[in-house]
Chain A
Amino acid sequence: MSQDLTILLTRGLVDTAYMVGASSAISFLAGLPLGVILSITAPGGILPNRPVYGALSLLVNVGRSIPFIILMVAIIPLTRILVGTSIGTEAAIVPLSVSAIPFVGRVVESALREIDDGIIEAALSMGATPLEIIRKVLLPEALPAIISGLTLTVISLIGYSAMAGAIGGGGLGDIAIRYGYQRFMPDVMLATVIALVLMVQFFQFAGDSLSAKTRHDKKG
Chain B
Amino acid sequence: MIRLDGVSKVYRVSDPGGTAKKNFHALRDVSLEIENGAIYGIIGRSGAGKSTLIRCVNLLERPSSGRVFVNGVEMTALGDGQLRAARKKIGMIFQSFNLLANRTVYGNIAFPLELDRWREREIKDRVKEIAQLVGIEDKLAQYPSQLSGGQKQRVGIARALANRPDVLLSDEATSALDPQTTKSVLGLLRDINDKLGLTVVLITHEMEVIKEICDSVAVLDAGEVVEEGPVLNVFTSPLKGVTKELLAQVTKTQLPDSFADLKFLRERDSRQADVLLQLSFFGSAAARPMISDLVRKFDVDVNILVAHIDHIRATPYGTLVIQISGDEREDALDYLLDMNLKVKVIGYVARSNDTAH
Contact = CB atoms under 8 A, between A and B. Distances in A.
Interface in A86-134: 116, 118-119, 121-129, 132
A90 to B, nearest CB: 38
Contact of B111 (A136, A143, A219): A136
A141 B92 contact: no
Interface of A: 116, 118-119, 121-129, 132, 136-137, 140-141, 143-144, 214-219
B71 to A, nearest CB: 15
B60 A125 contact: yes
Contacts of B101: 141, 216-217
B85 interface: yes
B87 interface: yes
Nearest to A218: B145
B23 interface: no
11 contacts: A118-B94, A119-B100, A125-B60, A125-B91, A126-B159, A127-B83, A127-B85, A127-B116, A128-B84, A140-B103, A215-B102
A122 B86 CA distance: 15
Interface of B: 58, 60, 83-88, 90-92, 94, 96, 98-103, 111-112, 114-116, 143-146, 159, 163, 169
A140 B104 CA distance: 12
Nearest to A121: B60
Contacts of A128: 84, 115
B114 A125 contact: no
B88 A127 contact: yes
B84 A122 contact: no
Of residues A121, A124, A125, A140, which shows the largest number of chain B Cβ atoms within 10 Å of its Cβ?
A125
A47 B84 CA distance: 16
A106 B145 CA distance: 28
Given A217-B101, A219-B146, A126 B88 contact: yes
Contacts of A127: 83-88, 112, 115-116
Contacts of B146: 219
Given A118-B96, A119-B100, A219-B145, A125 B115 contact: no
7 smallest beta-carbon distances between A and B, as pairs: A217-B101, A122-B98, A127-B84, A127-B87, A216-B143, A118-B98, A125-B92
B102 A141 contact: yes
Nearest to B85: A127
B161 to A, nearest CB: 12
A57 to B, nearest CB: 23
Nearest to A216: B143
